[in-house]
Amino acid sequence: MKRTSLNEEQKSTIKYLYCSSLYSIRMVAHQLHLPWHIVRDCLEREHLTRNPLLARQVALKLNRVHCPKREKHHNWKGGKSIYSGGYIAILVSPNDPFYEMGRKEPGLQGSYVLEHRLIMARYLGRALTKQEIVHHLNGIRSDNRFKNLALVTRGNHPHNTLVKLLQKRIRDLEAKLAQQSLT
């Protein structure tokens, strides 16, 4: 197999792009129009390494991380994620006004906002504070219809929850009584 020899200018460019500008090996190869394995071999011969975690953090800040189109990725679910408690989260881009309400994921350009909080915030036209809780009236955490959501504060949330549950129980018992009286 023919080995491509690199001149000193190419070697210094590889060193600069890889170590100083924190380009990936594939990005360096693309810039220099070389096969990526040639760049990798050059870096190995020169014993050039860098801390991969630090490099990724810096590259993320500089928006230099190559991300495939999300929509084309085999595991893309439309920007929706279901958390362990049964809540649905929506991926929100950094230029969205409700971006700050979300949970930032490392390596992701955006944040996940709980869908029920996002629906209420969009209805109100402002971001919700941490003291505001969006309560599901029927208790089903994935039922994010607006008529099923109520905005409460941390102080009155337990009281409202109990009242709503008691009201539902009363309605169920009334319906049961009405059905028994018909038969």
72: amino acid identity, one letter: K
Query: What does the pLDDT read at residue 92?
Result: 84
**Residues of the chain whose pLDDT is less than 50?**
1, 64-66
Query: What does the pLDDT read at residue 82?
Result: 81
> Could you give the dihedral angle defined by the CA atoms of residues 147, 148, 152 and 157, in that order, rounded to the nearest 10 degrees?
150
List of residues 6+ apart from 8 with CB closer than 8 A: none
Q: Are 168 and 160 in contact (CB under 8 A)?
A: no
**DSSP annotation of 84:** T
The number of angstroms, rounded, from the C-alpha of 149 to the middle of its chain's C-alpha atoms is 23
